[in-house]
Amino acid sequence: MYRLVVCDMDETLLGSNAQIPTRNVAAIKDAHERGAKFVPNTGRAARSLGYVLDTLGLADQKDEYVISYNGAAVFSNADPLHPIITNGLPYATVARLFDLAQSRGLDTHVYTADQLYVWNMTAADRDYLGRRKVIYKEVRGALSFLKATPIMKIIFYLADEQERLAFQKVITTTVPAPLNITFSSDMYVEVNASEADKGQAAVALGRRLGIKPAEIIAIGDNLNDVAMLKDAGLGVCVANGREDVKRLADYVTTADNDAGAVGEVIERFVLNGDYPN
């Protein structure tokens, strides 16, 4: 029996219009009534998911959760500003990454536990975040004002995949600290602490709730979702996901994110109790 569903947001739970398809909403609410938990597992900040949690009926509930920043923090929905689990980056590492990006003029996001700061924001990035109601502050100048503030992750906007791969290589050859580097939404290079990923966070939350990894379903579409697909009892890629992620999944949906792929998964494996062959 699957008792916990952890799910990516963008291009997975959300349709291309940044809204939740009605099929997903209905299935999640039905599963919740039967005792299964639904936990967003996202690169975003928990406080930027207010409209998502409101739609799903999960807002402001102390026994419901969000995994944020690619697994660097876990929050109770009753307090989206103060994490119950954290695994952030040292300031010195972030400062080195920040300097590498700024020397190249890159659109750079730095996430603390309760805020997103953005440097050199592009018009395309502004539009993408705006449609998803992401809360952020645009800033200029040095990173030093965050020296005493815990930092969850840092990411960089690069729309071209070859440029993302090239910058990943720059990071790995110039920053000595062990890091977890992933890609998301086919536009971001995301950097977390080596111990922080969506899979480890899902297992840690499950342990806190008395739920085994075998009882967890993970649903995603992109490379930053791979860890949770591997660590969960059932790893699912949505139909619109990357082909390399589909090859790693236990199940690939028929529906895409616009047609309620998450609803398809919950209907089959939670509500109807099916198991993959």
Q: Specify the CATH number for the domain of residue 247.
A: 3.40.50.1000
Q: Are residue 173 and residue 231 in the same domain, yes or no? A: no
What is the pTM for the complete model shown? 0.89
User: Residues 230-256: what's their mean pLDDT?
Assistant: 98
Q: What is the mean pLDDT of the chain?
A: 96
Closest listed residue to residue 68, CA positions, set 160, 155, 171, 170: 155
Q: Are residue 44 and residue 12 in the same domain, yes or no? A: yes
Q: Are residue 179 and residue 107 in the same domain, yes or no? A: yes
Of 158, 193, 228, at which residue does a domain stop?
193
Instruction: With respect to residue 150, please indicate whether it lies within any of the assigned structural domains.
Output: yes
Closest listed residue to residue 65, CA positions, set 38, 86, 47, 43: 38
Q: Are strands 234-237 and 216-220 parallel, antiparallel or unpaired?
A: parallel
The pLDDT score that the predictor gives to residue 115 is 94
* Domain containing residue 59: 4-86+197-271
Angle between helices 91-103 and 161-174 (to 10 degrees): 130
Q: Are residue 182 and residue 208 in the same domain, yes or no? A: no
User: Residues 8-21: what's their mean pLDDT?
Assistant: 96
Instruction: With respect to residue 266, please indicate whether it lies within any of the assigned structural domains.
Output: yes
The fraction of the chain above a pLDDT of 90, given in percent, is: 94
Mark 90-103 as b/e (b = at least 16 C-beta within 10 Å): ebebbbbbbebbee
Quick check: 277 pLDDT over 90?
no
Give 276's pLDDT tier (boundaries 50, 70, 90).
low
User: Residues 212-220: what's their mean pLDDT?
Assistant: 98
Give 61's pLDDT tier (boundaries 50, 70, 90).
very high
The pLDDT score that the predictor gives to residue 273 is 82
Q: Are residue 215 and residue 158 in the same domain, yes or no? A: no
Q: Specify the CATH number for the domain of residue 113.
A: 3.30.1240.10
**117 SS3 class:** strand
Structural contact between residues 196 and 109, judged by C-beta atoms closer than 8 angstroms: no
Q: Are residue 219 and residue 162 in the same domain, yes or no? A: no
Tokens of 107: 């659109």
Q: Are residue 189 and residue 201 in the same domain, yes or no? A: no
Quick check: 51 pLDDT over 70?
yes
Q: Are residue 151 and residue 98 in the same domain, yes or no? A: yes
Of 193, 217, 242, at which residue does a domain stop?
193
**Angstrom distance (rounded) from CA 117 to CA 140:** 10
Q: Cα angle vertex 133, ends 74, 73, to 5°?
A: 10
The residue whose two tokens read 């207010």 is 50
The pLDDT score that the predictor gives to residue 180 is 96
Instruction: With respect to residue 106, please indicate whether it lies within any of the assigned structural domains.
Output: yes
User: Residues 35-56: what's their mean pLDDT?
Assistant: 95
The total domain count for the chain is 2
Tokens of 56: 């799903």
The pLDDT score that the predictor gives to residue 275 is 67
What residues contact residue 155 under an 8 Å CB cut-off, 6+ apart? 43, 108, 109, 111, 184, 188, 189, 190, 191
Instruction: With respect to residue 277, please indicate whether it lies within any of the assigned structural domains.
Output: no
Structural contact between residues 269 and 23, judged by C-beta atoms closer than 8 angstroms: no
Q: Are residue 21 and residue 112 in the same domain, yes or no? A: no
pLDDT, one tens digit per residue, over 152-209 is: 999 999 999 999 999 999 999 999 889 999 999 999 999 999 999 999 999 999 999 9
Q: Are residue 232 and residue 182 in the same domain, yes or no? A: no
Q: Are residue 71 and residue 155 in the same domain, yes or no? A: no
**Residue type at position 38:** F
Closest listed residue to residue 6, CA positions, set 271, 265, 216, 176: 216
Q: Are strands 188-193 and 151-157 parallel, antiparallel or unpaired?
A: antiparallel
Instruction: With respect to residue 14, please indicate whether it lies within any of the assigned structural domains.
Output: yes
Q: Are residue 95 and residue 81 in the same domain, yes or no? A: no
Mark 153-168 as b/e (b = at least 16 C-beta within 10 Å): bbbbbbeeeeebeebb
**84 SS3 class:** coil
For 238, 239, 261, 277, the CA distances from 254, given in Å and listed in that order, are: 8, 6, 7, 16
* More confident position, 62 or 211: 211
The pLDDT score that the predictor gives to residue 274 is 74
Of 170, 193, 216, at which residue does a domain stop?
193
